[in-house]
Amino acid sequence: MSDNKKIKIVLAGNPNCGKSSLFNSLTGLKQKITNVPGTTIENKVGRFAIEDSFIDLIDTPGTYSFNPKSLDEKEAVKVFFEDPLPDAILYVADAANLKRNLFYFSQLAQHGIPMVLALTMLDIADFKGFEIDIDRLEKELGIRIYKVNARTGDGIAELKKALGQDQFAPHYAFGSKEDHTHESHFVSINKLLNKTTTLKSKRELVSNKIDAWATHPILGYLMFLVVLLVIFQSVFSLAAYPMDWIENGFSLLSEWLSAVLPDGWLKKLVINGLVAGVAGVVVFVPQIAILFFFMGLLEDTGYMARVSFIMDKMLRGLGLSGKSVVPLLSGAACAIPAIMSTRNIENWKDRLITIMVTPLMSCSARLPVYTLLISMAIPSDQYVGIVSVQALLMLGMYVLGTAAALVAAVVFKWIIRHDVPSYFIMELPVYHVPRWGNIWINMWQKSRSFVTEAGKVILVVSVVLWFLASYGPKTDQTFSIQESEKLVESYAGHFGKTLEPAILPIGFNWKIGISLITSFAAREVFVGTMSTIYSVGDEDNFEQIRDKMRKDTLANGKPVYSLGVVLSLMVFYAFAMQCMGTLAVVYKETKSWKWPVIQFVYMTSLAYLGSWITFNLFG
């Protein structure tokens, strides 16, 4: 054996088999996300040293078969043929559900790659009265089998050690030489299991008892509603603190930079373009991280599958499926990771419709816009009973977004042609006590992919928009007095004025036009632009911006921001596609510009139409 041998091992297994736990427990936090060339998939690679070898362990998405159905599964399979070819496959199988778990194994075994089998969930198998003769199974298959428990760490050290040594290719013949149908594989698996396992007793799992509640016709939905309320309450109230720290941190950074950097365009680019752009991305991380924490918790415990189960029938009529629940809910934080989470939807049409409508869910970037506008439209002391009208209007915006997403889904269902019927064949995994390690790592990785995926785009767009808002056709404006005048004279200002005839019918003047343009990087920039236009120094001071906006009057003396205009603006922000980051992700996930273009056009048209109706109703 040469010094520092490098070994490449691919981790494979069914969904819900405990693969992620094992991966995390083998590699700890030393994980790297790499892009498989030519695919959208990000593979997790973890490296660890054992004796004199380095092991690169590559995780793959959980898969039921070698004939992949969903995008996730298709990407999983590619890893086996990537250069350099893997030295071995570490196959993880749920001991309590061995028959189905061995099916994918039997398909992989045909390829002659050495394999090691790790058995998980032995406690559940034991509880079910399921006994496995490991020695016999090892002999039959011709490979090594290790019993592991990622939670307690049992068997992990032995498995690590084994991975550094030579593995064996399985010699058990699944199917026959001529016949490799699914059926023949299962016949072989049955024969194998008849020889090596016994069922001593049959006990009902607690899981089934929980399900009686979780899928109850009334209590089931009620429970889901409570879960949603808890999640959104936490997202907004818990995230407020770290968001404050981030904002304060960035304003300190800007102050420091403005003190140390020499005056000139570079200073402005750094502070108003780059730092402001980065701050605009990072400030959403707490909300997104908290939302992903909860989504991870619901998925890890197995509850999310039940939500899909009880929601499927309703969503099906709308061209979606039970599996659309996760993306739609995630869309309430940020459409970008939400769209990435559609990968496990097998049916292309279901997946496409989910992608197309998810950005209509009110994401967290819309929240500051709504907050400012609602405070303009409704006095804070107005109540219906004990509920504040402001809060009701905010809730109304979420309902409006969700309703629009569902209606749009129905329309797309009629428009998009696709012959393969949608199906919903899904495992309901056994309930688990949360595996916190998995949840933390999942949250960390998703938040990071938001920062890198969305961050890049938002940053570039921020810099471009900063340029458009800072420079104009007139070159002699360096000594311009007021920031607000500068903005008016800038390219963005000119665009705003050019845009005015088009947006007058929905009640918007050129000042709003400027904001519509600048908020194309991210919607919340609306608030910042308003504070610049109305020369408010501190953009966090909603009251000040609001008061200045209220005082703005038309030529005839009436206020610019009448109830009609404010509501029209809110509807516009609810529907319009003003997020470059989302468009970029849609392009990446659908591998075509067709869908982001359609999405941009339909959402903007919907926004225009919605605003026009609102403006004419209330204006």
Element (H, E) at 549: helix 542-551
Q: How far is the CB of 232 from another protein (least distance, A)?
A: 23
Are 118 and 159 in contact by the 8 Å Cβ rule? The answer is yes
- Helix (H, G, I), strand (E, B), or coil: what is residue 388? strand
203 binds another protein per the rule CB under 8 A = no
168 binds another protein per the rule CB under 8 A = no
207 binds another protein per the rule CB under 8 A = yes
Among 7, 89, 113, 310, binds another protein (CB under 8 A): 310
Are 47 and 55 in contact by the 8 Å Cβ rule? The answer is yes
Among 64, 370, 412, 495, binds another protein (CB under 8 A): 64
Question: Nearer to another protein by C-beta: 184 or 544?
Answer: 184
Structure tokens at 194: 């008849």
Question: Nearer to another protein by C-beta: 11 or 315?
Answer: 315
| Rounded distance between C-alpha atoms, residue 182 and residue 106, angstroms | 10
212 binds another protein per the rule CB under 8 A = yes
Element (H, E) at 343: none
Query: What does the longest C-alpha to C-alpha distance in the chain come to?
Result: 91
Element (H, E) at 131: strand 130-132
540 binds another protein per the rule CB under 8 A = no
Among 39, 40, 65, 535, binds another protein (CB under 8 A): 65
Q: In sequence order, which residues have a C-beta less than 8 Å from that of residue 426 and are 6 or more positions away? A: 305, 308, 309, 322, 323
Question: Nearer to another protein by C-beta: 158 or 183?
Answer: 183
Q: How far is the CB of 182 from another protein (least distance, A)?
A: 4
Count of residues near another protein by CB under 8 A:
46
| Rounded distance between C-alpha atoms, residue 137 and residue 352, angstroms | 43
Q: Which span sits near another protein by CB under 8 A: 352-360, 376-384, 385-393, 418-426?
A: 418-426
Among 34, 35, 176, 208, binds another protein (CB under 8 A): 208
Structure tokens at 299: 């998925």
Among 166, 183, 244, 255, binds another protein (CB under 8 A): 183
Q: What length does the chain have? A: 619
Question: Nearer to another protein by C-beta: 8 or 100?
Answer: 100
- Tokens 């090594």, residue located: 144
182 binds another protein per the rule CB under 8 A = yes
Are 342 and 372 in contact by the 8 Å Cβ rule? The answer is no
Q: How far is the CB of 72 from another protein (least distance, A)?
A: 14
Contact set for another protein, span 331-350 (CB under 8 A): 346
96 binds another protein per the rule CB under 8 A = yes
- Cα angle for residues 246, 520, 364 (degrees, 5° grid): 45
Partnered with residue 75 across adjacent β-strands are none
- Cα angle for residues 561, 562, 563 (degrees, 5° grid): 120
247 binds another protein per the rule CB under 8 A = no
Q: Which span sits near another protein by CB under 8 A: 243-251, 334-342, 419-427, 609-617?
A: 419-427
Exposure of 271 in the CB half-sphere (CA atoms within 13 A): 19
Q: Which span sits near another protein by CB under 8 A: 171-179, 211-219, 333-341, 354-362?
A: 211-219
The distance in angstroms from the start CA to the end CA of the chain is 81
69 binds another protein per the rule CB under 8 A = yes
190 binds another protein per the rule CB under 8 A = yes
Among 47, 195, 313, 418, binds another protein (CB under 8 A): 313
424 binds another protein per the rule CB under 8 A = yes
Binding mask 426-445 for another protein (x = CB under 8 A): xxxxx---------------
Structure tokens at 591: 């591998």
Are 409 and 318 in contact by the 8 Å Cβ rule? The answer is yes
Long-range contacts of 366-370 (CB under 8 A, 24+ apart): 366/397, 366/523, 366/524, 366/573, 366/574, 367/236, 367/524, 368/524, 368/526, 368/527, 369/519, 369/523, 369/524, 369/526, 369/527, 369/570, 369/573, 370/394, 370/397, 370/570, 370/573
591 binds another protein per the rule CB under 8 A = no
Among 164, 322, 359, 496, binds another protein (CB under 8 A): 322
Binding mask 345-374 for another protein (x = CB under 8 A): -x----------------------------
| Rounded distance between C-alpha atoms, residue 515 and residue 565, angstroms | 14
Among 38, 217, 264, 385, binds another protein (CB under 8 A): 217
Q: How far is the CB of 133 from another protein (least distance, A)?
A: 17
Q: How far is the CB of 543 from another protein (least distance, A)?
A: 46
Q: Which span sits near another protein by CB under 8 A: 212-220, 374-382, 498-506, 560-568?
A: 212-220
Partnered with residue 9 across adjacent β-strands are 57, 88
Instruction: Point out which residues bind another protein (CB under 8 A).
Output: 64-65, 67, 69, 96-100, 103-104, 128, 130, 182-183, 186, 190, 207-208, 211-212, 215-218, 220-221, 305, 309-310, 312-314, 316, 322, 346, 420-421, 423-430
